[in-house]
Structures are given as C-alpha cells and as structure tokens.
C-alpha cells in the first residue's frame, strides 16, 4: 500500500512539471523576437516526402543559422536560403534539380523540381592482401548499401562506421581509409570505392612516460590502465583521458614507435602546478552569504596524494576541515581517505559544537561502480528542544554507488544511484545504538523532442531526483539532534525555509527518523553561455522510522538562470511554496551556487 502511494506522489509531481512546461511553451509563443523573421514555404513537385523534409530543414536553419539571423533584407535572405537549399539537395542525392524562389515582401516561396535522384550502384573496399575478410560485407550492416540513394550523411557515416569496425576488430596502428565517389551524370548511378592503407596488426610492448618529475611511472601506468596486448586506438584515447582526469597533468600526448609486430607507446606529459588556493562565495536563504577558502596539494609527497583544507563561514555555521587521499593504496583501484573536521552550527533545530575524524577505503570496481567502507568517530555537544547532551559516537560508514552520468557538475545523460548505511554507537553510553540508512537516485535524460537534442547538442535536459532515509534502533529523543533528518531549503525542497518541513515537538523543529524527497527539473540552453531551468521540489520529514506516504508532501517550485562556464554552471534559482500541510510564508527564496542543483 505504501509503495502505491509513493508512486502516486511521483506521478503527481510529474504531471505538475508537465503542466508547468505546457504553460511556459504557450506563453513563449507570444514573446516577441522569437521565431523566424520571414515565413518560408516549400513545394517539391510530386515529392511530398521530400517537401516535408526540406520544410523541416529550412525551419531548423531559420532557428539555428546565425548568418540568416543577421540579415534584414528579404532579397538577401532569399538568396542565402536558396544557396543553402542547393547544398542540401546535392547532399541528399539530387543534382539535376531546379529551384524557383518568389517573394511578396514578407513571405518567401520555393518551387523545386527535384529531377532524378542519384543512387548507389556499387560499393567496393580495396584492402591489403593480409586481410582475408571482405570488408565491403559489413558496410551493409553499418548502414550503407547498394540500391540506396547517394546521401552524403550516409556515406560519411558508413566511412566512419567502417573505420570504427576496423579499429575494433583489428590491431592496426593508424589505418588510413580514403574514399572515391564516381557519378555517371547520365544514368545517375554512383560507384563508391574505399581504399584501406595499413600495416599488419601489432601488440603493445612497452608503456613509457616522459616529462614527469615528481610522479612515478608505475603510478601513471596504473592510472592509464593500458594492457600489453593487441593494439587498439581506443585504448590509447581512453588512457589519455584517464591521465588528464587525474588532475595531475595538463597534457598527455601519445607517441607511437612501431616495428614489425609490436608498438611502444610513450606519453609526453606536463605536470600541473600541484598547489592551488581558492576563494568562494554563495548565497541561500538559510545561510545568507557563505564565504569559503581552500588550499589543495594534488601531489603531496608524490604519487598523487591529495591534501586539502577548507574553511567555511556563514550565518548558521563555521567549519574547518581537512582531508588526505592516498590513491592506489595496496591496489590500483583502492584509495584510502582520511578526513577531519571541527564545526559550530547554530540553526533553529539545534546548536552544536563538534569534532570528527574518519578513515575510509574506496574501491572502484569498474567505470560505473564505487564502494566504500570505513570507521569514524565524533565528539559533539548538542543543545535542542528535546535534548542537551554530549555524545561520543563511533560509526562504521559503508556505501555503494553506480554512476553513469559522466559528469559531476552538469550531467545531461545517465543516472546516479547511491545507498549508504552507517551504524552508530555511543562510546560512553553503550545503550545508545542506531543506524542511518539513506538512498537516492538521480536521472538525466536529453531526448530528441521539439526539434532539440540532435546527435551533437544537448539543449534540453530532464533531471529527476528521489531520496529516502530512515534511522532505526532508537526513539527520536535518543538520537543526537545533529544526526536526525531535516527537510526544507536549498539541497532539499527549494521554496521553503531551512529545516521548516521537519517534524516538530511543542511547536519547535525536532527533526525526524525518516524522510522522502522528490524533485524534477527541466534544464535548457539558450546560447553557448546562458541557460535556464524550471523545477518542482517536494518532500517531507517524519518522526517515525518509516515514511508515511499517505501524508501530503510539501511542494515548492520556481525557475533559474544558468551562466555556463568552462568549469561548471553558475546557478541562480528563485523558488516559492506551492502547497504544504504546514503554515508557511508565501515568499520568494533566492539560491546562488556553483553546479546544477542535483
């Protein structure tokens, strides 16, 4: 029953977001200066499908072609469109076409006589004798075959697909594939010939590095993850990406030295300046202005050991923390992370002063899966409406995460799922034992809808987030107030005050033993540097260990602006309450930060 109610809440949230998008799309039609400068119509004689294709193509050109957008004169506009149409016709196999443009001062019409379409008569692959497979056979499976129209996009795609096929199946080093297209202008028949030039396959013999001064070769080899086996170009590209993503290098350029049957790969690298300082500022209704300062050494005492310290101060907290990450600890995929933190927090729910330290092992199972397990201790003095006590907690945090998003700061595809479990015990009062469970899933999708999100651009992204948590083992008043769950505010349910959607006792915020949060956000790009968002957040905290999905969730919504930098988007969100079982002040909340909300 509870699961059905929970799914019903998700559907209600989805419908709310869809209604918001429809309203925004309706109002966008009335905004001036959006849309085409001139109405353009296409008529292709006796070719309705071609007419439909060209009309869609012209509409897209009008909305995306910057050169067209700059033209005010209709005759120049018509002339440029005519040139664009001519290139388009040739690219889809029409060479004897006729184009007759007309205009009445505000509208433009094109009458097109397509003529006979060029068709593919034969496809051949000239290849070295040591390749026994006929490489022309896979081309049909790759989307290029005899009898099909001569479409430039398909020919280029077939060429690239053949290169990818060769690189995937064979161990060739830098194979060269050239193409020749011969068209009979009378019969409109085309012959396509691909010519492959390559040496026989080779194996990787040695991996070397040049230019590194403080990082061991063996450490870099573990990062690159190149096996001494059949040479594959994708292996080298992947290794280059891994080296750059380590944050230790500014460049990693591969050089190949080949002999009769093997290849040596040398990466010429440049190390980054390993020490950096940072200053930051942010704003949210709960913290007001938040100032931060940090220092980082990404290669402390060599081999990628990362030492960081950070200081943050805001209206509600002061915090100093430090961490040391030791990569490749006993295993290339195992990291050891030490963390320490001292903080003072003053919020409506509680006041606390605490000091904590932890040691955690993180294991990267593969590209997507990350697991961790560790030990942590915390000393805290907590004052709240339900307790005034000192806690000395020992815990054993463990987590598992699957990440297919490929981006931490601005994901557009994939998902991130996580589950964490952390049992606590008080080292002085052994009777206090409780366990925190929390799980969340975030999804990112960029479907090809509304003429957006083609293969090269991701102008529109739909992001969702669902999070759940529970604390078991102790009643609410025995769990330290700073370990309970709180809902409301930035990072939770935007539009409401910080922690304001949490359970209360005697009118005071007490926190809860469980929570649920659901959010959906539509993200869109307006230009290379600017974007925006529409979002709906909802959630609730519960005093019981199990979320009560029959209770009404509080819902907030709003819109945001994104300034997109090379590093991460700068986010400015405005949000306000939409509905809630609690009494709330209907005011606009402002949030400013770096990266997307989730």
Task: Determine, yes or no, domain membership for 496.
Answer: yes
Whether residue 3 lies inside any domain: the answer is no
Shared-domain flag, residues 370 and 254: no
Strands (DSSP E) contained in 88-220 are 98-103, 107-113, 119-126, 176-184, 189-197, 203-210
What does the alpha-carbon distance between residue 310 and residue 271 come to, in Å, rounded to a whole number? 24
The answer to whether residue 211 sits within a structural domain is yes
The DSSP symbol for 553 reads P
Q: Where are the alpha helices (DSSP H) in 29-123?
A: 48-64, 66-69, 74-91
Q: Which of 271, 303, 326 is the last residue of a domain?
A: 271
Q: Which of 259, 469, 476, 248 is nearest to 350 (CA)?
A: 476
Q: How far apart are CA 380 and CA 392, in angstroms?
A: 7
Count how many domains the chain has.
4
Residue 237 within a domain:
yes
pLDDT, one tens digit for every residue, the chain (598 residues): 444 444 454 444 444 444 444 444 433 333 333 445 688 999 988 899 999 999 999 988 888 888 888 888 888 999 999 999 999 999 999 999 999 999 887 889 999 999 999 999 999 999 998 888 888 877 777 668 888 999 999 899 889 889 988 988 899 998 999 999 999 989 999 999 999 999 999 999 999 999 999 999 999 999 999 988 999 988 999 999 999 988 899 999 999 999 888 999 999 999 998 899 999 888 887 788 889 999 999 999 888 999 999 999 999 999 999 999 999 999 999 999 999 999 999 998 999 999 999 999 999 999 899 999 999 999 999 998 888 889 999 999 999 999 999 888 889 999 999 999 999 999 988 889 999 999 999 999 988 766 566 655 678 999 999 999 999 999 999 999 999 999 998 889 999 999 999 999 888 999 999 999 999 999 998 888 899 999 999 999 999 999 988 888 999 999 999 999 888 899 999 999 999 988 877 889 999 888 899 9
The rounded distance, in Å, linking the Cα atoms of 551 and 573 is 27
Residue 57 DSSP one-character state? H
Report d(CA 466, CA 445) in Å as an integer: 15
- Looking at the fold, whether 546 and 398 belong to one and the same domain comes out as yes
Would residue 173 count as lying in a domain?
Answer: yes
The count of other CB atoms within 10 Å of the CB of residue 523 is: 25
Same domain, 131 and 70: no
- pTM for the whole thing? 0.71
Q: Residue 336's domain is classified under what CATH number?
A: 2.40.160.50
The range of the structural domain enclosing residue 351 comes to 275-594
Together in a domain, 504 and 514: yes
69 shares its domain with 132:
no
pLDDT reported for residue 443: 97
**Which helix (H) or strand (E) is 339 found in, with range?**
strand 334-346
Tokens of 487: 């809902």
pLDDT value for 109: 92
Gap between the Cα atoms of 125 and 142, Å rounded? 14
Both 239 and 292 in one domain: the answer is: no
CB 6 within 8 A of CB 548: no
235: domain CATH number? 3.10.20.310
Same domain, 127 and 246: no
């Amino acid at each position: 029953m509870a699961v059905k109610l929970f799914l019903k809440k998700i559907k209600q949230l989805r419908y709310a977001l869809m209604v918001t998008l429809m309203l925004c799309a309706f109002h966008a039609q009335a905004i001036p200066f959006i849309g085409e400068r001139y109405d353009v119509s296409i008529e292709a004689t006796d070719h309705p499908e071609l007419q439909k294709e060209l009309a869609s193509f012209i509409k897209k050109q009008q909305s995306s072609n910057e050169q067209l957008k700059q033209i005010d004169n209709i005759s120049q506009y018509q002339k440029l469109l005519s040139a664009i149409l001519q290139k388009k016709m040739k690219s889809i196999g029409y060479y004897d076409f006729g184009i007759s443009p007309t205009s009445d001062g505000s509208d433009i019409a094109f009458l097109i006589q397509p003529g006979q379409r060029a068709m593919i008569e034969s496809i051949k692959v000239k290849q070295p004798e040591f390749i026994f497979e006929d490489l022309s056979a896979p081309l049909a499976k790759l989307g290029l075959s005899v009898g099909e129209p001569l479409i430039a996009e398909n020919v280029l795609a077939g060429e690239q697909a053949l290169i990818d096929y060769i690189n995937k199946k064979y161990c060739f080093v830098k194979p060269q594939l050239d193409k020749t297209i011969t068209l009979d202008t009378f019969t409109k028949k085309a012959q396509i010939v691909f010519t492959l030039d390559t040496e026989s396959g080779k194996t990787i013999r040695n991996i070397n590095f040049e230019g590194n001064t403080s990082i061991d070769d063996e450490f870099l080899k573990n990062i690159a993850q190149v096996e001494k086996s059949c040479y594959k170009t994708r292996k080298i590209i992947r290794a280059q990406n891994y080296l750059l993503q380590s944050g230790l290098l500014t460049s990693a350029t591969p050089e190949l030295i080949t002999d009769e049957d093997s290849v040596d790969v040398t990466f010429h690298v440049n190390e980054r300046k390993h020490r950096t300082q940072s200053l930051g500022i942010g704003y949210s209704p709960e913290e007001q202005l938040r100032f931060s300062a940090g220092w980082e050494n990404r290669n402390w005492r060599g081999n990628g050991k990362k030492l960081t310290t950070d200081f943050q101060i805001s209206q509600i907290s002061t915090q100093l923390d430090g961490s040391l990450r030791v990569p490749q600890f006993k295993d290339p995929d195992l990291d050891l992370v030490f963390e320490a933190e001292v903080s003072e927090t003053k919020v409506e729910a509680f006041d606390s002063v605490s000091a904590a330290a932890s040691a955690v092992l993180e294991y990267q199972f593969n590209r997507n899966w990350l697991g961790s397990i560790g030990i942590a201790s915390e000393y805290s003095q907590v004052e709240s409406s339900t307790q005034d006590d000192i806690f000395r907690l020992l815990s054993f945090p463990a987590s598992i995460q699957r990440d297919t998003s490929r981006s931490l700061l601005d994901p557009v595809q994939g998902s991130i799922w996580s589950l964490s479990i952390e049992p606590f015990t008080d080292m002085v009062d052994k009777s206090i034992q409780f366990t925190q469970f929390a799980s969340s899933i975030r999804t990112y999708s960029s479907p090809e809808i509304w003429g957006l999100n083609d293969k090269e651009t991701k102008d529109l992204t739909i992001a969702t987030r669902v999070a759940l948590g529970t604390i078991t083992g102790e009643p609410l008043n025995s769990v330290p107030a700073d370990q309970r769950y709180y809902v409301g505010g930035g990072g939770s349910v935007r539009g409401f005050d910080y922690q304001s959607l949490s359970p209360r006792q005697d009118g005071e915020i007490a926190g809860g033993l469980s929570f649920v949060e659901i959010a959906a956000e539509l993200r869109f790009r307006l230009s290379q540097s600017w974007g925006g968002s529409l979002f709906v957040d909802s959630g609730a905290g519960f005093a019981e260990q199990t979320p009560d999905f029959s209770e009404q969730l509080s819902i907030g919504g709003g819109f945001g602006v994104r300034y997109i930098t090379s590093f991460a988007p700068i986010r400015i969100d405005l949000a306000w309450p939409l509905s809630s079982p609690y009494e709330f002040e209907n005011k606009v909340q402002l949030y400013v930060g770096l990266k997307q909300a989730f």
